[in-house]
Copies of this chain bind each other. A is one copy, B any other.
Amino acid sequence: MKFTIAIIPGDGIGPEVTSQAKKALDAVAEAYDHIFLYKEAQIGATAIEATGSPLPKETIEICKNADAILFGAVGNEYYDNNPSAKVRPEQGLLRLRQELDLFCKIKPVKAYDNLIYNSPLKRDVIKGTDFVIFRELTGGIYFGDKEISKDEKSAYDKSFYTIDQIKRVAHLAFKAAQRRRNKITLVDKANVLATSRLWRKTIIEIAKEYPNVDVEFMFIDNAAMKMILNPKQFDVILTENLFGDIISDEASAIAGSIGLLASSSIGEKNALFEPIHGSFPKAKGKDIANPLASILSAAMLLKHLGLDEEADAIERAVEKSIALGITTKDIKRKTQTSTSTSKVGDFIADYI
Contact = CB atoms under 8 A, between A and B. Distances in A.
Interface string A171-197: 000000000000000000111111111
Contact of A201 (B84, B121, B162, B226): B84
A83 B200 contact: yes
A162 B194 CA distance: 22
Number of copies: 2
Contact of A198 (B148, B201, B226): B148
Nearest to A218: B80
Contact of A122 (B84, B94, B122, B198): B122
Given A81-B217, A156-B144, A158-B158, A229 B248 contact: no
A163 B154 CA distance: 6
B156 A159 contact: yes
A178 to B, nearest CB: 23
Contacts of A226: 253
Which of the listed residues A79, A152, A250 has the most CB atoms from chain B within 10 Å of its own CB?
A250
A196 B148 CA distance: 10
Secondary structure of the A contact surface, majority rule: helix
B158 A90 contact: no
Interface stretch (A16-24, A55-63, A239-247, A304-312): A239-247
B84 A197 contact: yes
A297 to B, nearest CB: 18
3 tightest A-B contacts by CB? A155-B198, A221-B249, A83-B197
22 contacts: A79-B191, A80-B217, A84-B201, A120-B122, A122-B122, A141-B192, A144-B156, A152-B163, A152-B201, A153-B162, A154-B160, A154-B198, A155-B198, A156-B160, A156-B194, A156-B195, A157-B159, A157-B194, A222-B278, A224-B253, A226-B253, A228-B228
